[in-house]
Amino acid sequence: MTGHKRKKGGRTIGVLAGITLGSVGFGHAPQVIAGATFKIDDTKWISIGAGFRTNFRTQESAAGNSGDKWSNDFALDNIRLYINGQIHKYLKLEFNTDCQTCNNGGEVRVLDVIGKFEVNPYANVWVGRMLVPAERREMNGPFFSAVYNIFSSGTPFSPADHNLVFKNDGTSAGSFGRDDGATFWGAAFDGRFQYALGFFNGLRGGANVDDNILYAQRIAYNFWNVEKNPGYYTSGTYYGTGGDILTFAIANQYQEDGVGSRLDAGNFRGTTADVLLEKVLPNGGVVTFNGEYKNYGISNGFSQATRDAGAPGLFDIFEGNAYDVSGMYLFPEKVGIGQFQPYLRYVNHAPETSTAREVYEAGVNYVIDGHNARINLSYQYGDLLTKGFNYRSTTTGEHVSQMMVGFQWQI
């Protein structure tokens, strides 16, 4: 699940103001300068920053001996440190960490380590550990999505986001949407057409006995203003600072023997389509719409019996269709130090191997400084809250309510 500087919750590109133009592949200045940037000489610099997310949530029928009480849980979602640098006009380095097991002791782990060859807007190469090209949600990451609950009650996870830690026992294809590999990316037609082509390890061990590569692609077209993000990253909203935006994108991932077990492997294919529409109204208010569709398929193996057995060394990925749509309005007037942004959202999972599940969400963001400082209050209702991301045929769950308040700071 995800981070740039602009900062991207674990994806950061610090840019010294005097050398910004042309230093990023799309030839634009990031929206947010790093927390601190230190100039070494005319071409060398290093920047540091940090991001923090925490929440309190209470859920119906989730506590007590009989399960009839409301739960009350505080959680530390992320604490990320961002370090970026440039060592040559065309060579950059990105290093980010996160507390990937925050609620189990808080181990700090490597999130991104990227060596960047950024030469021109049309063709650039990143190597190392990075986000696997996928739908906008993954490219936003948690810090640059439009709503706080984008992952915990969103659409099914991609293989690289299926686990919190890297493992070689057939149960992991990455961590927090990241994997080890290389991505070729760029833009054409004045930046309107954007592409990313990636090659990654994917599933390690288990079903993937032949060490097959995971292939990932994403292409997007900006019909109105061009979204200004570093690399192939995205945002779920720009709070009107990017002007009028209408962008459509499709993405695809494929890995032979990328799902299942050593004795019952299947080929994984995940196809997604997403759209972002953001319109600045004459009164200064901002309307934002996000839509996402996923179609995940498995072929040449991985039976329902193997999925239901849940044996050790099993990599179990969603198969079917899923949808996530949301709409929000940012009021132009400031109230105190921020602006209110109410929203509505609907998420639906329609798996081929289990019962369908959904969640309705209504909430409001209190936007103090864009993605750098905001508070979220939300109410959710649905059986996705109880069924979760378990797609066995025996999965059951009730429609329940949940309320949450989340806090996000970045520098």
Residue 55 has pLDDT above 60, yes or no: yes
Is the Cβ–Cβ distance between 392 and 310 less than 8 Å?
yes
pLDDT for residue 333 is more than 50: yes
Segment (H or E) for 273? strand 265-280
Q: Could you write out the three-class secondary structure of 66-85? A: CCCECCCEEEEEEEEEEEEE
Return all residues near 400 (Cβ < 8 A) that are at least 6 apart.
59, 60, 61, 62, 381, 382, 383, 385, 386
Taking domain 7-410, whether its CATH number is 2.40.160.10 is answered by: yes
The residue type at 149: N
Task: Answer yes or no: are the C-beta atoms of 131 and 161 closer than 8 Å.
Answer: no
Phi, psi for 260 (deg, rounded to 5): 100, -150
CA distances to 18, 227, 284, 318 from 149, in Å: 37, 23, 26, 19
Residue with tokens 């929000």: 328
Paired strand residues for 116:
92, 126
How far is the C-alpha of 158 from the C-alpha of 125, rounded, in Å?
A: 22
Q: Do the beta carbons of residue 124 and residue 196 sit within 8 Å?
A: no
How far apart are alpha carbons 110 and 104 in whole angstroms? 17
Amino acid identity for residue 236 in this structure: G
Max Cα distance, the chain (Å)? 66
**What is the mean predicted confidence (pLDDT) over 77-84?**
94
pLDDT digits (tens, 9 = 90+) for 226-242: 999 999 999 999 999 99
pLDDT at 309: 92
* Pair of tokens at residue 271: 């196809």
Tokens standing for residue 118:
């950024």
Distances (CA, A) of 356 to 12, 55, 61: 37, 27, 20
Quick: pLDDT tens for 348-404: 999 999 999 999 999 999 999 999 999 999 999 999 999 999 999 999 999 999 999
Looking at residue 8, its pLDDT comes to 43
Contact by Cβ (8 Å): 365, 341? yes
d(CA 382, CA 395): 15
Q: Tokens at residue 127, please?
A: 């190597």
Closest CA to 24 of 92, 81, 87: 92
Tokens 């959710």 map to which residue? 380
Which band of pLDDT confidence, cut at 50, 70 and 90, is reported for residue 53? very high
pTM of the model: 0.90
Q: Across all residues in the chain, what is the average pLDDT?
A: 91
User: CA-CA distance, 42 to 18, in Å (whole number)?
Assistant: 9
Q: Which residue carries 């081929």 as its tokens?
A: 352
Structure tokens at 120: 């021109």
Is beta strand 265-280 parallel, antiparallel or unpaired with respect to 357-367? Answer: unpaired
Nearest to 352 by CA among 405, 406, 391: 391
| Amino acid making up residue 256 | E
Task: Give residue for tokens 């950059």.
Answer: 92
Q: What is the per-residue pLDDT across 7-48, written as a single tens digit (0 to 9) for each?
A: 444 444 433 333 333 333 333 333 344 468 899 998 999 999
Tell me the domain boundaries of the chain. Answer: 7-410
Among 85-94, 97-106, 316-325, 396-405, the range scoring the smallest mean pLDDT is 97-106
